[in-house]
């Protein structure tokens, strides 16, 4: 029995080490892409790129949270997922505000710059998603991290579509539309992550276990 426990402990330690390595890599990639996309987005005047850069920043923060709790209890990891859901919701609202601003005061963005940066971001996020996919079923913390990366791929593809439509139409509306699509994606995913993490926290709370609750009441 002791040998079995030691083996399980080793497996868990190896899993946590593997999760940490992956999270450090995707954290570095997203932090670098945030700087690159924000810079190009401001130069090109693209709300879609700026929205996607905020997504990158949000993901970098998400991966930082995930690294902090990767060796902690399931309750800690569920709390981290809840925090990540809140971050995604905030960035969704920020993107919505930016989209409204561009509708009122924006000009036609530079389609070529949007396309080039969108392609680079897609390649970077494809690499991150590949690394995270093997860990997506580990726990709620890693699943929420994988969901963030999956959303990035969808957002990047939308940015490329926006670049093509801006070039064809010569208007800013495709760029605005993509900004709104990314906003809805942020908000939908944040709702899913918050719901799952609250469910996990409820399961892990002392009151959810009859024996623990009885012990607490007896104190």
59-82 residue pLDDT tens: 787 777 767 765 566 666 677 677
Per-residue confidence (pLDDT) for residue 122, from 0 to 100: 93
Q: Is the pLDDT of residue 36 over 90?
A: yes
Q: pLDDT band for position 124 (50/70/90)?
A: very high
Q: pLDDT band for position 214 (50/70/90)?
A: very low
- Tokens at 39, concatenated: 């810079």
CB contact set of 78 (below 8 Å; sequence gap of 6+)? 140, 141, 197, 200, 201, 204
205: left (phi over 0), alpha (psi -120 to 50) or beta: beta
Per-residue confidence (pLDDT) for residue 189, from 0 to 100: 74
Q: Is the pLDDT of residue 217 over 70?
A: no
- Tokens at 9, concatenated: 């402990």
Q: pLDDT band for position 126 (50/70/90)?
A: very high
Q: In the chain, how long is the greatest CA-to-CA distance?
A: 71
Question: Nearest to residue 98, comparing CAs of 146, 128, 55?
Answer: 55
Q: Which range is most confident: 8-22, 61-75, 121-135?
A: 121-135
Q: pLDDT band for position 49 (50/70/90)?
A: confident
Q: Is the pLDDT of residue 218 over 50?
A: no
Whether domain 18-204 has CATH 1.20.1510: the reply is: yes
Per-residue confidence (pLDDT) for residue 182, from 0 to 100: 76
CA separation for the pair 203, 219 (Å, rounded): 21
Per-residue confidence (pLDDT) for residue 168, from 0 to 100: 93
Per-residue confidence (pLDDT) for residue 213, from 0 to 100: 40
CA separation for the pair 147, 4 (Å, rounded): 33
Percent residues over pLDDT 90 in the chain: 16
Per-residue confidence (pLDDT) for residue 4, from 0 to 100: 44
Average pLDDT, stretch 183-197? 78
pTM: 0.67
CA separation for the pair 180, 100 (Å, rounded): 9
């Amino acid at each position: 029995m002791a040998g079995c426990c030691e083996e399980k402990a080793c497996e868990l330690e190896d899993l946590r080490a593997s999760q940490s390595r992956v999270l450090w890599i995707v954290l570095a990639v997203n932090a670098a892409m945030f700087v690159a996309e924000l810079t190009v987005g401001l130069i090109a005047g693209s709300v879609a790129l700026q929205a996607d850069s905020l997504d990158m920043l949000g993901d970098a923060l998400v991966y930082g949270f995930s690294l902090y709790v990767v060796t902690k209890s399931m309750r800690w990891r569920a709390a981290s997922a809840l925090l990540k859901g809140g971050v995604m919701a905030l960035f969704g609202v920020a993107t919505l505000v930016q989209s409204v601003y561009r509708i009122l005061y924006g000009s036609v963005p530079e389609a070529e710059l949007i396309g080039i940066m969108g392609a680079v971001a897609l390649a970077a996020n494809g690499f991150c998603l590949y690394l995270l996919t093997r860990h997506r079923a580990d726990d709620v913390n890693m699943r929420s991290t994988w969901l963030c990366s999956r959303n990035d791929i969808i957002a990047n593809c939308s940015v490329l579509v926006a670049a093509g439509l801006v070039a064809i139409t010569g208007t800013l509306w495709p760029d605005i539309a993509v900004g709104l699509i990314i906003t809805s994606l942020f908000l939908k995913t944040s709702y899913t992550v918050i719901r799952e993490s609250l469910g996990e926290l409820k399961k892990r709370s002392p009151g959810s276990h009859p024996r623990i609750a009885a012990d607490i009441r007896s104190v």
